[in-house]
């Protein structure tokens, strides 16, 4: 399907203090990805899926940012968050 | 090489000390290397 090949712009609103996903990174490797999306949670409803690569946070490209920086940006975002993500298979193209 | 010379000239305490020192350094280096490579992945609940 075509829509599977596009990056996704996801808008999240915090529910009970959480967006309902984990941000994972690997030390020494560029790029952060989504893990442990809580079913029915904000991330799930916004269309985020496990292993999605984070491209932008609130319109800022984070592909070359350190893991700690990206976590910080998301935390400082308040109660809502906009993320541009791509499936790993799409991102690698 | 310092240790080697001393070994050749006779097995002095100094040479043994030097050898022990070199080995101790190798062990410490290995430990540091190992701990730097443990838990290479990070995860934060958001």
B1-46 pLDDT, tens per residue? 777 666 666 667 888 899 999 999 999 999 888 876 666 789 999 9
Which of A10, A13, A27 should be substituted to probe chain B, the one whose Cβ sees the most B Cβ atoms within 10 Å?
Answer: A27
Q: What are B's interface residues with A at a Cβ cutoff of 8 A?
A: 39-46
Looking at residue A4, what DSSP letter applies? G
- What are the helix (H) ranges across chain B? 2-8, 13-37
Query: Do A23 and B44 touch, CB atoms closer than 8 A?
Result: yes
What is the CA B3 to chain-centroid distance, rounded?
15
* Strands in chain A per DSSP E: 8-13, 22-26, 32-35, 53-57, 60-61, 80-86
pTM of the model: 0.68
Instruction: List the one residue out of A84, A78, A79 whose CA is nearest residue A61.
Output: A84
Interface test with B, best of A23, A65, A74 (most B CBs within 10 A): A23
Q: From the list B42, B44, B46, which residue is nearest A27 (CB)?
A: B42
pLDDT beneath 70: ranges in chain A: 1-4, 93
């Amino acid at each position: 399907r075509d829509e599977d090949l596009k990056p996704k712009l996801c808008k999240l609103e915090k529910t009970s203090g959480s967006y309902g996903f984990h941000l994972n990174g690997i030390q020494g490797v560029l790029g952060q990805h989504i893990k442990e999306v809580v079913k029915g949670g904000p991330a799930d409803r916004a269309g985020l899926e496990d292993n999605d690569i984070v491209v932008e946070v609130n319109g800022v490209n984070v592909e070359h940012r350190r893991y700690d920086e990206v976590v910080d940006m998301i935390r400082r975002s308040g109660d809502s968050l906009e993320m541009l993500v791509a499936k790993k298979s799409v991102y690698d193209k | 090489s310092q240790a080697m010379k001393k070994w050749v000239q006779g097995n002095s305490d100094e040479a043994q000390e030097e050898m022990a020192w070199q080995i101790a350094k190798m062990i410490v280096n290995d430990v540091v290397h190992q701990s730097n490579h443990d838990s290479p992945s990070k995860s934060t609940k958001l």
